Chains A and B, each alone.
Chain A
Amino acid sequence: MTSVAQSNRYRYDGSDPLSQEELVAAARDGDQQAFEELVRQTYVATYTLAYRLTGNEEDARDVVQETYLRAWKAIRRFRGDAQFSTWLYRITANTSSSMTQRRSRNRADSLDDQGSEVIDERPFANPEASSEASALHQRLSEAVAELPPKLRAIVILKDVYDLPHEAIAEELGISVAAAKVRLHRARKRLRDVLFEERGGVARAV
């Protein structure tokens, strides 16, 4: 895993850089420079989520742009109940969902749960510290990417980003019950892929 250096260039008076909370407060007051600094600090994480949800780089970049445009328009309404990153994840999820639906209509792709969309376009994943961990994460990333979009979105938002079922259901426009059913189905599929038995020998993750 490679750590991504975050910019700390935004300062009002040349002293300590502003914290994310201070940047958010300034952005809520209409300070575009502060918001741009927030973009610099968070766009890699936003892109990562967008890529995982959409499954390709071009869509992920479009989602990143759209997410920040929406966030800028809505930031005055951000009450700070949740972390800024969680708020952004929700906007990213909503934007990705809209884009996936739009793209699927345009490309006449099937979003049916029974489909098996294989994503073969991947950005550079960061190298892992150990080969065992690397193998695990590689196989898991592939397995998640191979899930149908509807199942993939749920498992990523719940099990990777820890968003509550209610928030996921709201952003994806489905019921909480449907979100739970899809999550369990996705976990079952991942379990089957990662611990698939061949000739009686389980493939260790």
Chain B
Amino acid sequence: MRCEDVALILPRAVDVGEPVDESVQHHVNSCLTCQAELAKYHKLLKALRTMRHQLLIPAPGTLAMTLAALQESQERRAIRSLVTGRRGAYLGAIGGAAVAAGAAAAAVALARRRAPRLAG
């Protein structure tokens, strides 16, 4: 195994738990150049991890704009829900009226059928 070959594997090998070929491991253990190379990757990863805590300050107004967009979206949703609700109420009322009318008609028809006929 040559250092050039190991150099290609090190960006992956630096991950904890990543399986590394035994021959690579053996080479790194006995090669100061590759150990130094591996140390550079460890240093790089450590530095990258610290970036997570380096916060960047957004321009003033970013929060206000975000909250305004949220509220606007919420209002749109509420209006949509209201319109949908009203439509449902109208349809329900029409349906209810139709059912009631049908029931009344049926009741009248039934009453007429049962009414005793006067002898003429």
> Could you list which residues of chain A lie within 8 angstroms of chain B, going by C-beta atoms?
1-2, 4, 32, 35-36, 39-40, 43-45, 47-48, 51-52, 57, 60-61, 64-65, 68-69, 72, 123-126, 136-137, 140-141, 144, 155-156, 159-162, 180, 183-185, 187-188, 190-191, 194-195, 205
Tell me the complex Cα distance, A191–B7, Å: 11
- B65 neighbours in A (Cβ, 8 Å): 61, 65
Tell me the complex Cα distance, A140–B63, Å: 28
> Could you list which residues of chain B lie within 8 angstroms of chain A, going by C-beta atoms?
11-12, 14, 40-41, 43-45, 47-59, 62-63, 65-67, 69-71, 73-74
Q: Is there contact, CB below 8 Å, between A48 and B55?
A: yes
Q: Is there contact, CB below 8 Å, between A187 and B55?
A: no
- Report which of B47, B56, B67 forms a contact with A36, defined as CB distance below 8 A: B67
Q: How far is the CB of A102 from chain B (nearest CB, A)?
A: 18
What 10 pairs between A and B have smallest CB-CB spacing?
A: A184-B11, A159-B48, A187-B11, A47-B58, A48-B56, A160-B51, A123-B56, A65-B69, A48-B55, A188-B11
At the interface, is chain B mostly helix, strand, loop or mixed? Answer: helix
- B74 neighbours in A (Cβ, 8 Å): 32, 72
Q: Is there contact, CB below 8 Å, between A160 and B70?
A: no
- B51 neighbours in A (Cβ, 8 Å): 52, 137, 140-141, 144, 156, 160
- A185 neighbours in B (Cβ, 8 Å): 11
Tell me the complex Cα distance, A123–B62, Å: 13
